[in-house]
Amino acid sequence: MIRPQDAPPLSLGTLFLIFARIGLTSFGGGLSAWLMREFVVQRRLMSQADFLSGLALSQALPGINVVNLSIWIGYRLQAGPGALVASLGMVLPPLLVAILMLIGLEQLTDSVLVPQVMAGIAAAALGLSLEMGVRSARSAATGAIPIALMMAVFIGIFVMEWNLIAVIVICAPLSVGYAWLQLEDAATKQP
């Protein structure tokens, strides 16, 4: 469990409510940005580097990225019970609201307003994802090799339009190898 000494630990109930609030009030890729804002910026329960490590891990694992990230944050803050509570908070309340909204939207299928509202929601989620991407890139841009790897991923996905799996298969081992060399180098420099 990583927690600054001056920050009181969160109860499992509070952890559930935080994830439920974020899950109910955020859309799409913006969820990761809200989680970072909540746990790193506002509550200071983990460092940005720890959060970004969890984000990278959650994106590398199969499944829904934000649920993986919720499990990782919950585990870091309250071990196994925290992981369970965080994932339930992220999934159950939004699931119930989504079911109710779908029932309601079915009644409004002919409305001109529904597509406009959905476009606005998508734009907000895109803005939150962009903020998260810029923050992550700034944090990861620690030298020429990390910047080159970021550019390679960007070019592979957005310019060359390669499959995401192909980009991961190529770039992930390079990133992990570079990080491993950095850790080894730092370990040899310590007294």
> Which of 39, 56, 57, 36 minimizes the C-alpha distance to 128?
36
pLDDT band at 3 (very low <50, low <70, confident <90, very high): very low
pTM beyond 0.75: no
SS3 of residue 90 by DSSP? helix
Q: What is the dihedral of CA 126, 130, 136, 139, to 10 degrees?
A: -160
**∠ Cα 75 80 82 (to 5°):** 55
Mean pLDDT of 20-47: 86
- DSSP state, 143? S
pLDDT in tens, 67-116: 999 999 999 999 999 999 999 999 999 899 989 988 887 777 777 887 88
Q: Are 151 and 140 in contact (CB under 8 A)?
A: no
- DSSP state, 8? P
